[in-house]
């Protein structure tokens, strides 16, 4: 097994994941962020999305610390069925909205193949949690989507099992798999898990896929997150994912391993000092539209926003369809001109920036017409 790197791709048990398939390593794009390149990518956010205010505060902390992706769980795999299980779809909507507001792609966990169609609408990077690393129907379903996947290592998974799990996704046609070492279960109980940096250094050699490290779950202790992040950077990780919370003592999950604002700032300072020594650099803050930048930065941002708009429009049409079905069941007419007028007036009173109120109204008139057309089509 440990000699994988020296065997030929044809003899490998995971020919698509093996380093020999792409000796220079894969670069995987999540929105405007590249994983597996020279940038050491910081992913930060709360363990779980708890409320709009908590998420907004955590996301602001993350963005200010230079995090490039925002994390947050809406579906939480909790050891106890009585523990907070996450907000579900409303949590996903909050996360996506916050990510868009800050120009940060979002990563969130999907726990089953059944939930995938929903989660994929909101996530830019789909996380498979440690407990689901060998959920083969889920892995196969993720192999058929057009978005990147973050595959965490199982609590007791060997390196080979982990790479074979990645192979499941790759073999279904999705080439965008990122690995994440998050600590394994050992005899040691002084820390929540044992962060296996052996595996990090080994897997970087065995596979071309980018490899991240999660020192929050890897240690379970806030005070160990900075030293283990530094170790991960030095040992060749392509980035880290850390949990942050504006008030860790009030967190509904994993408060003891979540960084508060000063600790997060300390983390960035340490990583920024260390990165050049190992030939890496930390990412820039998310592009600010009022600063001069390269054209592609603006284009990527616009592409990201367009994708978000399409997602929102699809969601609006879906809700409209449900509303139309309710109206039909109640024998009510589909169209309500007075309500349409009210909606347009409200839209026109919003601050549209470069778009004046007339432009906003025209855009929304069109959206409403198209939604009604869809509703009429969907009428039984």
Residues that bind ligand PEP (CB under 6 A): 47, 73, 77, 109, 129-131, 152, 182, 214, 217
Residue number with CB closer to ligand PEP (4 or 181):
181
Q: Which does 152 bind (CB under 5 to 8 A by kind): ligand PEP, Mn ion, none?
A: ligand PEP
For Cα atoms 223, 126, 321, give the angle at the middle one, nearest 5 degrees. Answer: 130
Residue number with CB closer to ligand PEP (179 or 368):
179
Q: Are 195 and 45 in contact (CB under 8 A)?
A: no
Residue number with CB closer to Mn ion (72 or 320):
72
- Dihedral sign (CA 107, 96, 49, 111): negative
Q: Which does 130 bind (CB under 5 to 8 A by kind): ligand PEP, Mn ion, none?
A: ligand PEP
- Residue 44 within binding range of Mn ion, rule CB under 5 A: no
What does the per-residue mask of binding to Mn ion show for 351-370, with x meaning CB under 5 A? --------------------
Taking phi first (over 0 means left), then psi (-120 to 50 degrees means alpha), and beta for anything else, what does residue 159 get? alpha
* Side-chain half-sphere CA neighbours of 157 within 13 A: 26
Q: Which does 208 bind (CB under 5 to 8 A by kind): ligand PEP, Mn ion, none?
A: none
Distance CA 89, CA 75 (A): 8
Crossing angle for the helix pair 261-274 and 222-234, nearest 10 degrees? 20
Q: Which residue is nearest to Mn ion (CB)?
A: 47
Determine phi and psi for 143, rounding to 5 degrees: -70, -15
- Residue 214 within binding range of Mn ion, rule CB under 5 A: no
Residue number with CB closer to ligand PEP (18 or 107):
107
Among 16, 42, 47, 200, binds Mn ion (CB under 5 A): 47
Q: Are 84 and 90 in contact (CB under 8 A)?
A: no
CB of 308 to Mn ion, least distance (A): 26
CB of 198 to ligand PEP, least distance (A): 18
Q: Are 116 and 80 in contact (CB under 8 A)?
A: no
The helix or strand, by DSSP H or E, that contains position 126, with its residue range, turns out to be strand 125-128
CB of 214 to Mn ion, least distance (A): 9
The b/e string for 326-344 (b: 16+ C-beta within 10 A; e otherwise) is ebeeeeeeeeeeeeeeebb
CB of 364 to Mn ion, least distance (A): 40
Among 50, 167, 238, 254, binds Mn ion (CB under 5 A): 254
Residues near Mn ion, by CB under 5 A: 47, 254
């Amino acid at each position: 097994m440990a000699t994988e790197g020296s065997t030929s791709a044809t003899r490998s048990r995971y020919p698509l994941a093996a380093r020999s398939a792409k000796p220079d390593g894969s670069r995987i794009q999540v929105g405007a962020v590249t994983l597996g390149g020279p940038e050491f990518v910081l992913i930060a956010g709360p363990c779980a999305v708890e409320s709009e205010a908590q998420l907004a505060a955590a996301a602001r902390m993350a963005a200010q610390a230079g995090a490039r992706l925002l994390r947050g769980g809406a579906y939480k795999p909790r050891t106890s069925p009585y523990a907070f299980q996450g907000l579900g779809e409303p949590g996903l909507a909050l996360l996506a909205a916050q990510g868009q507001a800050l120009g940060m792609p979002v990563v969130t966990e999907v726990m089953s193949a059944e939930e995938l169609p929903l989660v994929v609408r909101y996530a830019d990077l789909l996380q498979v949690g440690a407990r689901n690393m060998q959920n083969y129907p889920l892995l196969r379903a993720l192999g058929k989507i057009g978005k990147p996947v973050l595959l965490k290592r199982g609590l007791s998974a060997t390196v080979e099992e982990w790479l074979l799990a990645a192979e499941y996704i790759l073999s279904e046609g999705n080439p965008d798999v990122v690995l994440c070492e998050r600590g394994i279960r050992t005899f040691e109980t002084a820390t929540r898990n044992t962060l296996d940096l052996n595996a990090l250094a080994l897997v970087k050699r065995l596979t071309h896929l980018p490899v991240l490290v999660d020192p929050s779950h890897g240690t379970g202790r806030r005070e160990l997150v900075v030293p283990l992040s530094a170790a991960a950077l030095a040992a060749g990780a392509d980035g880290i994912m850390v949990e942050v919370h504006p008030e860790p003592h009030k967190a509904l999950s994993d408060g003891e391993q979540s960084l508060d604002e000063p600790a997060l700032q300390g983390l960035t300072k340490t990583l920024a000092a260390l990165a050049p020594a190992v030939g890496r650099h930390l990412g820039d803050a998310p592009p600010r539209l009022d600063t001069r930048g390269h054209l592609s930065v603006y284009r990527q941002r616009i592409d990201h926003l367009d994708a978000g708009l399409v997602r929102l429009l699809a969601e609006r049409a879906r809700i409209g369809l449900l509303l139309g079905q309710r109206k039909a069941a109640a024998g009510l007419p589909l169209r309500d001109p007075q309500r349409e007028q009210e909606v347009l007036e409200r839209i026109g009173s919003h601050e549209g920036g470069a778009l004046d109120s007339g432009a906003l109204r025209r855009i929304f008139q069109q959206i409403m017409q198209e939604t009604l057309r869809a509703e009429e089509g969907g009428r039984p």
